[in-house]
Structure 1
Amino acid sequence: MSFTLFLTSSRPPEPTWLLRLKLYKLQKRCISNLPGNVRLLKRFALQTPTGERTDGYVAIDYTSQAIIASFSSVASGDKLFYTHFNAEFFTNRQAQFEGSEGLVNRFLYDSWYKLWYILGMEQTLKNLVGIYKNYEIWFIGHSLGGAKAEMAVLSMLFKRLVSQKKVRLLTFGSTRVGDMSFVNLIETLVPYRFRIVHGRDMVPRYPRIFDGEWTPPHHHRYEVWYPNGMRPGAKYFVCLGAEDPQCSSRLSPWEIRAADNDGRVILRRQRFLQ
């Protein structure tokens, strides 16, 4: 079973390099396995007071002519649920995003803001956009890093640092990030966008829509769901609804699990849609 999806962008998602997103002790191995046509230019590392480590990477893919902004969030051992899923995250306390009508989870926003502005990830990308004027910019994120990728792409579009037709947004096991106003901004300004969800991953189910006293969070379209692993040739579904019951939202709360967000996500050279 599959769905035919028509985007406002000119072509379907066709990433041209092997992307491996590893967590915990596998990060160095991931970086060392980059294809020869991809050059890692800079890493940004942020240690939060709660123990979360947020990493941002900027790279160049010379073959695909793309600037790559990648985000990951790492917490190890028993700290995972105390840092990534602390009380502020669960209650979905919100912050206004970049002067827009959109509201985003404050826990996610504060971490992104420090990485983006204080550590200078935005400035690095601005410099590269000025040098590689014809390159696309790919925003990629895993887990909580997916939320940061969403905020990063909107921030650059708000400031007209890059055109809509040159950006791609791909997230893997991302949390919900903002309210419907934020989602509408993503869907209006980012025509090329996909959320990849692996199996019974619990992370995309948080913050829960009915949690907290604030405006409920929502996902944007389009979800690509791999229900039974992500090996080459694995079956997947592309759903047109933001919280589509035909995709991972069909799973009940007792069916989801943290193990499916472990970072062993492989995106190979393939079309999501044939």
Structure 2
Amino acid sequence: MAASAYSDHPELCVKDNFKQSNFKRRIQVQCDLLKEDQCSAFTAISHSDKAIILSFRGSEEDEVTMEVVDAITVLPVTEFSGKAKVNQYFYDAFNDLWNAGIKNDFLSLKNANPGYELWVTGHSLGAAMASLAATTLVTTKIFPADKIKLVTFGQPRVGDKTYAELIDSIIPYAYRVIHKNDLVANIPPQFLYGYHHHKSEVWYNNDMTKGQPYLECDEDESKKCSDSVIDLSIPDHSMYYNVTGSFASNGCKGWNVFTQ
């Protein structure tokens, strides 16, 4: 679902991969007034899994460089009732989408389907926004933490150590999947304004094809996972489980090799 957020028609992927599903809506906003970057997210529901889906789109290829610049030059801001500092660019992008209709669409699905889980996901910038979405939902008591599954791909560092500790303490099911030497997973750097990854990390130090091993590190900034390498790579950021976001343009039939 993280990859399908790159498509102009993610409803095709939702239909392809869930037996009983409904697509709510895709929302797109201008998330950077100066560079006209576009941010996007969608909501859907899988009745067969009894899960609401909230997926945030990542960076387009020509946006990545500028977002790296933003991430390392924009000062973090204090949010979540003063309990954490987060990157302002990521936080503003999330709020723009949240207030443009994602929040209302989510609430509509939640109220119509009591007891369902919530799956929150995204890749790259979308991963940062997914992390902020899950944190917002729990800290504002909109949705119970024990029913949230947060799984992101190529997530940059979103906030400081207090933000990492906040997520660690309130969201039991939170996983950051990292492909090998993914550059974006290493920005902003830790030495800059105290940025810090939250747990848990799932690190594939390989091409992520079917059957390849992974290492799970259930601590913040573990030196046993991706922090153990310094040879960073942009190609590793764009390719997860042997697919790119562009593959979802015409639907997602057969996309999940683990169910074949």
Using the size of structure 1 for normalisation, the TM-score is: 0.81
Q: Which of 54, 60, 64 is residue 39 of structure 2 equivalent to?
A: 54
Render the CA deviation track for 1:47-97: whole Å, top value 9, x for unaligned.
2322322111101011110001011123343x4312x112x4213511122
Aligned residue in 2 for 1:11: none
Render the CA deviation track for 1:142-192: whole Å, top value 9, x for unaligned.
101111111111111122111121111101000000111111110111001
Go from structure 1 to structure 2 and tell me whether the alpha carbon gap of 1:228 and 1:31 turns closer, same or farther (over 3 Å shift): farther
* Deviation (angstroms), 1:28: 4.3
Tell me, yes or no, if structure 1 residue 181 matches structure 2 residue 162: yes
Q: Distance in 2 between matches of 1:20 and 1:114?
A: 19
Matched AA of 1:250: S
Aligned residue in 2 for 1:72: 57
Tell me, yes or no, if structure 1 residue 81 matches structure 2 residue 61: no
Aligned residue in 2 for 1:150: 131
Please identify which structure carries the higher helix content.
2
Query: Secondary structure of 1:160's match?
Result: coil
Contact residue 23 and residue 263 of structure 1 kept, 8 A: no
- Gaps of at least 5 residues in structure 2 are 244-255
Go from structure 1 to structure 2 and tell me whether the alpha carbon gap of 1:142 and 1:191 turns closer, same or farther (over 3 Å shift): same
Go from structure 1 to structure 2 and tell me whether the alpha carbon gap of 1:108 and 1:171 turns closer, same or farther (over 3 Å shift): same
* Deviation (angstroms), 1:32: 2.5
Tell me, yes or no, if structure 1 residue 230 matches structure 2 residue 211: no
Query: Secondary structure of 1:68's match?
Result: strand
Contact residue 20 and residue 264 of structure 1 kept, 8 A: no
Q: Which of 247, 251, 262 is residue 238 of structure 2 equivalent to?
A: 262
Query: Secondary structure of 1:169's match?
Result: strand
* Deviation (angstroms), 1:31: 4.8
Aligned residue in 1 for 2:250: none
Contact residue 149 and residue 173 of structure 2 kept, 8 A: yes
Query: Secondary structure of 2:190's match?
Result: coil
Contact residue 56 and residue 72 of structure 1 kept, 8 A: yes
Contact residue 20 and residue 30 of structure 1 kept, 8 A: no
**Percent same amino acid among aligned pairs?**
27
- Gaps of at least 5 residues in structure 1 are 1-18
Aligned residue in 1 for 2:90: 108
Go from structure 1 to structure 2 and tell me whether the alpha carbon gap of 1:36 and 1:244 turns closer, same or farther (over 3 Å shift): closer
Contact residue 43 and residue 58 of structure 1 kept, 8 A: yes
Aligned residue in 1 for 2:13: 33
Go from structure 1 to structure 2 and tell me whether the alpha carbon gap of 1:113 and 1:131 turns closer, same or farther (over 3 Å shift): same
How many residues matched? 241
Q: Distance in 2 between matches of 1:251 and 1:241?
A: 17
Aligned residue in 1 for 2:144: 163
Q: CA RMSD in A?
A: 2.0
* Deviation (angstroms), 1:20: 5.8
* Deviation (angstroms), 1:234: 1.1
Go from structure 1 to structure 2 and tell me whether the alpha carbon gap of 1:31 and 1:123 turns closer, same or farther (over 3 Å shift): closer
Aligned residue in 2 for 1:21: 3
Using the size of structure 2 for normalisation, the TM-score is: 0.85
